[in-house]
Structure 1
Amino acid sequence: MTPARDALKRLGFLTMGLFDPEDPAAGHESTLRLIDLGEELGFDSAWLRHRHVQFGISSPVAVMAAASQRTRRIELGTAVTPLGAENPFRLAEDLATVDVLAGGRITPGFSTGAPMNFDRYRDALYPDTAEQEELGYDRLLRLRSFLRGDPIEPARDAPRRDGIEEFSTRVEPHAPGLADRLWYGAAGLRSARWAGENGFRLLTSSVIAGENGTTDFASNQAEQVRAFRAVHPDGERARVSQGLVVIPTDSATATQRARYRDYVDSRAARVGVAHGPRKMLFAADLVGTSAEIAERLHADAGFQEVDEVAFALPFTLEADDYAQILGDIAGSLGPALGWVPRSAER
């Protein structure tokens, strides 16, 4: 059995970036301020959830670009971008551009296959070619190849001129190291093993497939993490980030605590039940003091396998709620898990 990690080394947070459809600018600005606050509090990373045809972040690359010009240190990631809605060549250009602007701080995560709610926009995206699109793992391998700087014209190994214009043999700009910072969001054992075999980092979230014959979320998640590392070239050093919803209440008002409890209660019925043909399992949302949450995490089989997390912020809360939650995560929960804020290092 893999020994439990001693201390949390990296702490991040994930936001959906909700906005009022009548005033999207204000919602996006609120998301950017949240990332600013995360950097001030010493978080290692801020992650953007990717949503299409919803009132959440539809273009995390654009939001990361804006955030890169307001921050200096915090890493910026996506968890996750569904590649079925992306052109790998164009996405490589955008990601590399943002990584150059950010000074090498972009850590994007991806999923493959048909995106969530794909039927709502598939025909708008691929009006004539939807049936011909390859949505599997090869799409991510192509993206990584472009980011790595592999030739886009295999027969050509040097730049060429066409009149007064010069053309590169690779996607430009080239962002050194970005291809090594890609994450894969796996929901089951097969995809976790594939990510490991192909040398990606692993994002494991609060929704996974139940495959060990039980509805215990944590034991299923732990098995997936172990399966990933068993085949990864880096073995036990392969990076895994766990995403759970945690809501510390140390500095919360009575009104906030009641609102948080209502949120958790509204989602509790889905926990401990296998959903659909893939037997999908949902993690329980954790609400309470930092000491209470830390105790539950230390006993969690999935958490015992990781030394970095990207805690997901609850949907539909207010800006003041998010500021309180982030403040308590950085000031109380993180240290209770052994984490040291980046601003306090060296």
Structure 2
Amino acid sequence: MPSTARPLRKLGFLTIGLFDAAAPGRGHESTLEIIELGERLGFDSAWVRHRHLQYGISSPVAVLAAASQRTRRIQLGTAVIPLGWENPLRLAEDLATVDLLSGGRLNPGVSVGPPMHFEQVKEALYPDTADAEDFSYERVRRLLDFVRGKPATDFSGVEGFEVFSDVVQPHSPGLGRRLWYGGASLGSARWAGEHGMNFLTSSVVKAEDPDGPLDFAEIQLGHIRAFRAQHPDGDTARVSQGLVVIPTDSANPEQRAKYEAYAAERLPRTASPQGPARLLFAPDLVGTSDELAERLHAHAAFREIDEVAFALPFTFEHEDYIQILTDMATKLGPALGWRPAD
């Protein structure tokens, strides 16, 4: 196993795409402009979060369809689509369609589990089947099968003037290799590896062992190694890390103060596991690129990967994101051994 940090091979970023309820179009346009900027700066990937009944992107596939027509090179990902809100067959159709429109650049990340606030939304979401819905890994397996071209029906052929397929159409052959699982537990890491997915690990993990160490980086490292131990590609299986990282090289004093206050407000939740699920959060990293590179090189899990999708803070202004992304691409990335795409 690597004992020192690998040179960073792929640099990406993640945005929640917040918007004002009074002017949602402007917020979505801002997200698209940020993705376009990412491509110009040489980022390898841009990822969008998924939020329902909130003021963030509720339809990442639609947003990325738009982004696919305004970019030509950058990879486009979701981190993540919670499958409890989705029909796997219909989602497979949408994902394949956008992948083809993008020229094979879509990287769908998914997760499972009941929808957030399920008791409050189940009557709207599943009025007749809420008690029968399966929110386990089986929902991911169904999506994988449909995307990878396994039959969805036992009927195909010609009926009258119409031609029917037994597999999801359109079919995008390479998409099955670009599916990611967003996991925070050891079981999720192993499951993703066993099923040949890529693995997204973020700034939250589950501290599942009540008697174990409460070291975020060590827990995350354990997940990465467990995933690769089960994956057919072994140590070369793809893992992307998604910490909140905020470089301040070109920030003005007001921006630096805002960023530091943001991180300080969120710091208490990193001291101990939160809630019944024992969620453990990583501290947000704020500083110059040299300072951030030093801290990342000391991070046990970061040393194990060569891809990142650094998460942009939720509540900043468009101009802040421009500064942060520019510093990431021109200062932090090179300090981590990364080179921008042509």
The answer to whether TM tops 0.5 is: yes
Going from structure 1 to structure 2, the CA distance change for 1:190 and 1:325 (only over 3 Å counts) comes to same
Please state how far the C-alpha of 1:4 moved relative to its aligned partner. Answer: 3.6
Please state how far the C-alpha of 1:275 moved relative to its aligned partner. Answer: 1.3
1:183 aligns with 2:180: yes
Please state how far the C-alpha of 1:2 moved relative to its aligned partner. Answer: 3.9
| Equivalent-residue separation in structure 2 for 1:262 and 1:207 (angstroms) | 20
Judge conservation of contact 2:6–2:305 (CA < 8 Å) in 1. no
Judge conservation of contact 2:9–2:339 (CA < 8 Å) in 1. yes
- Kindly provide the amino acid, as one letter, of the partner of residue 173 in structure 2: P
Please state how far the C-alpha of 1:152 moved relative to its aligned partner. Answer: 1.6
Q: Partner residue of 1:292?
A: 291
Question: What is the TM-score with the length of structure 1 in the denominator?
Answer: 0.96
Judge conservation of contact 1:216–1:272 (CA < 8 Å) in 2. no
| Equivalent-residue separation in structure 2 for 1:270 and 1:42 (angstroms) | 34
Judge conservation of contact 1:245–1:313 (CA < 8 Å) in 2. yes
1:157-193 CA distance string (max 9 Å, x none): xx41111111112111111110111000111111111
What SS class does the counterpart of residue 114 from structure 1 fall into?
A: coil
Q: Partner residue of 2:229?
A: 230
Please state how far the C-alpha of 1:134 moved relative to its aligned partner. Answer: 0.7
Please state how far the C-alpha of 1:150 moved relative to its aligned partner. Answer: 1.4
Going from structure 1 to structure 2, the CA distance change for 1:169 and 1:222 (only over 3 Å counts) comes to same
What SS class does the counterpart of residue 107 from structure 1 fall into?
A: strand
Judge conservation of contact 1:217–1:272 (CA < 8 Å) in 2. no
Q: Partner residue of 1:98?
A: 98
Judge conservation of contact 2:6–2:304 (CA < 8 Å) in 1. no
- Kindly provide the amino acid, as one letter, of the partner of residue 140 in structure 1: V
Q: Partner residue of 1:260?
A: 259
1:93-138 CA distance string (max 9 Å, x none): 1111101100000000000111333334222110111110011111
What SS class does the counterpart of residue 131 from structure 1 fall into?
A: coil
Judge conservation of contact 1:250–1:328 (CA < 8 Å) in 2. yes
| Equivalent-residue separation in structure 1 for 2:150 and 2:232 (angstroms) | 21
Q: Partner residue of 2:166?
A: 169
1:61-86 CA distance string (max 9 Å, x none): 00000000000000100000000100
Judge conservation of contact 2:78–2:108 (CA < 8 Å) in 1. yes
What SS class does the counterpart of residue 251 from structure 2 fall into?
A: coil
Q: Partner residue of 2:310?
A: 311
1:37-65 CA distance string (max 9 Å, x none): 00000000000000000000000000000
- Kindly provide the amino acid, as one letter, of the partner of residue 240 in structure 1: V
Please state how far the C-alpha of 1:330 moved relative to its aligned partner. Answer: 0.4
Q: Partner residue of 1:116?
A: 116
Task: In structure 1, list runs of 5 or more residues that go unmatched.
Answer: none
- Kindly provide the amino acid, as one letter, of the partner of residue 250 in structure 1: D
| Equivalent-residue separation in structure 2 for 1:59 and 1:219 (angstroms) | 34
| Equivalent-residue separation in structure 2 for 1:205 and 1:114 (angstroms) | 20
RMSD, aligned CA? 1.1
1:248-297 CA distance string (max 9 Å, x none): 00000001001111111110111121112332100000000000000000
| Equivalent-residue separation in structure 2 for 1:145 and 1:63 (angstroms) | 24
Please state how far the C-alpha of 1:5 moved relative to its aligned partner. Answer: 4.2
Question: What is the TM-score with the length of structure 2 in the denominator?
Answer: 0.97
Structure 1 range deviating more: 4-13 or 46-55: 4-13
Structure 1 range deviating more: 138-147 or 234-243: 138-147
Structure 1 range deviating more: 210-219 or 229-238: 210-219
| Equivalent-residue separation in structure 2 for 1:120 and 1:26 (angstroms) | 29
1:212-251 CA distance string (max 9 Å, x none): 5122111110011011111111000000000000110000
Identical-residue share of aligned pairs (%): 63
Task: In structure 2, list runs of 5 or more residues that go unmatched.
Answer: none
Judge conservation of contact 1:211–1:220 (CA < 8 Å) in 2. no
1:286-317 CA distance string (max 9 Å, x none): 00000000000000011111100000000110
Judge conservation of contact 1:264–1:287 (CA < 8 Å) in 2. yes
Q: Partner residue of 2:48?
A: 48
